[in-house]
């Protein structure tokens, strides 16, 4: 069964760090580009970061650039989001999502995890 | 911050047809980037509903359809059902922001 499971969320003080994990099952992470998307409580979706299928290219939203780092461990079939210098406005549910490949652009996201809550307070 | 504009809410009676608009600009939808649509039921992760403006992934009923024209896109839902009550988001890419962007979301209420 194709599945993504996030973990690592919790309550953290402003300025501290947290690392989120996204474990993939039923498919090989290194065959897909992967994204992180977050959603503040009662708010809309906000794109956070992307890592290319080969891990070479990484891009970030301006709101997290310089503070967050996306990475992956192919041996563990797991993606990560290292979050440093956390702010209150980073409080949200964080989802990892797999890219759905089709003949055009931009990336669509076909598989989502259940989300992990990060509270900065 | 959302760069794609959606109405905050729409509503319709069971069996009716509703549409949800998604308005962008020359740096996103108008630049030729496709639009995708997601359905998010309360307390759950988003689900891909429409990709590439008008294509349905396997398993999505043909009651859902999408279109795009110029700097805007639309999601249409026909034969409304109670289970369609959810939040709907459009998504594209913004070349000025150099990132993926979502609409603010539209809450669909089935009366």
Are B46 and A95 inside 8 Å of each other by CB? yes
- Which residue among B33, B99, B103 sits closest to A61, beta carbon to beta carbon? B99
Q: Which of B33, B44, B100 sits opposite A47 (nearest CB)?
A: B100
CA atoms within 13 A on the CB side of B108: 28
d(CA B58, CA B42): 22
Residue B63, exposed/middle/buried by CB under 10 A (0-12, 13-18, 19+)?
Answer: middle
pLDDT-based confidence at A106, cuts 50/70/90? confident
Whole-number Å distance between alpha carbons of B6 and B89: 8
Q: Does a cis peptide bond (omega within 30 degrees of 0) precede residue A106?
A: yes
Contact B99 A59 (CB under 8 A): yes
Largest CA distance in chain A: 43
The answer to whether the Cβ–Cβ distance between A114 and B101 falls below 8 Å is no
pLDDT band at B3 (very low <50, low <70, confident <90, very high): confident
* Chain A CA closest to residue B43: A114
Q: State pLDDT tens for residues A56-101.
A: 999 999 999 999 999 999 999 999 999 999 999 999 999 999 999 8
**Chain A residue whose CA is closest to B94:** A106
- Please provide residue B83's backbone torsions phi and psi, each rounded to the nearest 5 degrees: -75, -10
What is the biggest distance separating any 2 CA atoms in chain B, rounded to whole angstroms?
40
Average pLDDT over residues A30-34: 94
Q: Indicate the average pLDDT of chain A.
A: 96
B31 reaches A (C-beta below 8 A): no
Number of other residues whose CB lies within 10 A of the CB of residue A78: 18
The closest alpha carbon to A25, from A79, A105, A104, A89, belongs to: A79
Average of pLDDT values for A31-35?
Answer: 96
CB of B52 less than 8 A from some CB of A: yes
For residue range B9-66, list pLDDT tens digits in order: 999 999 999 999 999 999 999 999 999 999 999 999 999 999 999 999 999 999 999 9
Minimal-distance CA residue of chain A relative to B29: A106
Given a cut of 70, is residue B77 above it in pLDDT? yes
Q: Whole-angstrom Cα distance, residue B40 to residue B48?
A: 9
Give the other-Cβ count within 10 Å of A55's Cβ. Answer: 17
Find the residue in B nearest to A38 (Cα). Answer: B45
- pLDDT for B2 beyond 80: no
Please check the confidence at residue B1 and state whether its pLDDT lies above 80. Answer: no
Output the pLDDT for position A104: 82
């Amino acid at each position: 069964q194709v599945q993504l499971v996030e973990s690592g969320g919790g309550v953290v003080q402003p300025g501290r760090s947290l690392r989120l994990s996204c474990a993939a099952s039923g498919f090989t992470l290194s065959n897909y580009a992967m994204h992180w998307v977050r959603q503040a409580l009662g708010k809309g979706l906000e794109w956070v970061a992307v890592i290319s299928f080969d891990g070479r290219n990484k891009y970030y939203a301006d709101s997290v650039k310089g503070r967050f780092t996306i990475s992956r461990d192919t041996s563990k079939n797991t993606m990560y989001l290292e979050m440093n210098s956390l702010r209150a406005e980073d409080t949200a549910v964080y989802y990892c999502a797999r890219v759905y490949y089709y003949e055009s652009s931009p990336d669509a996201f076909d598989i989502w995890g259940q989300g992990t809550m990060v509270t900065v307070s | 911050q959302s760069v794609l504009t959606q109405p905050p809410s729409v509503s319709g009676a069971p069996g009716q047809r509703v549409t949800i608009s998604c308005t962008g600009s020359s740096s996103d939808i108008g630049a030729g980037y496709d639009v995708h649509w997601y359905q998010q039921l309360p307390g759950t992760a988003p689900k891909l509903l429409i990709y590439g403006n008008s294509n349905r992934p396997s398993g999505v009923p043909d009651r859902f359809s999408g279109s795009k024209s110029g700097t805007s896109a639309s999601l249409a839902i026909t034969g409304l059902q109670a289970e369609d009550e959810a939040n709907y988001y459009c998504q594209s890419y913004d070349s000025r922001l150099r990132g993926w962007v979502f609409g603010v979301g539209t809450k669909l209420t089935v009366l």
